Amino acid sequence: MLKVNVYVTLKDEILDAQGLVIKKAIKQIGYDNVNEVRFGKFIQLTIDEKNKSEEEIKKEIDYLSDKLLANPNIENYKYEIVRD
């Protein structure tokens, strides 16, 4: 079994309103050294390898991310594969 951690964030050029609000709250707590906050989603997939190569698995994750997990018009994704 593989665990795949997928991180989805808004593209840099898109104003992240949630990130701005979080940044404001951090400042209210008293930390003024946090310059930027980007808000995103964390999705964890547990995948049965079924004798597939890592390359094949990566292809599947890319496909799923482009098609469903992220919207390529507004979001970027990256992922890491973690072996138990």
Partner 1 sequence: MLKSSKPYFGILVFPGTNCEMDCFYVLNNILKVNCKYIWHQETKDDDVNAIIIPGGFSYGDYLRSGAVAKFSPIMSFVRDFALNGGLVLGICNGFQILLEENLLPGAMLRNNTLKFICKYVNLKVEDINNPFTSNYKKNQILKMPIRHNEGNYYIDKEGLKKLKENNQILLRYCDENGIVNSSTNPNGSVENIAGICNEKRNVFGLMPHPEACCEKILGSDDGINIFKSMIEYISKLQ
Residues at the interface with partner 1 (CB under 8 A): 10, 14-15, 17-18, 21, 41, 68-69, 71, 73-74
Tell me how far, at minimum, the Cβ of 17 lies from partner 1, in Å.
Answer: 5
Cβ nearer to partner 1, comparing 35 with 73: 73
Task: Give DSSP secondary structure letters for 14-61.
Answer: S--HHHHHHHHHHHHHT---------EEEEEEEE--TT--HHHHHHHH
CB within 8 A of 51, min separation 6: which ones? none
Q: Which is nearer to partner 1, 1 or 15 (CB)?
A: 15
Write down the least CB distance from residue 42 to partner 1, Å. Answer: 12
Q: Which is nearer to partner 1, 46 or 71 (CB)?
A: 71
- Beta carbon of residue 54, minimum distance to partner 1 (angstroms, whole number): 26
Residues 6+ apart with CB under 8 A from 14: 74
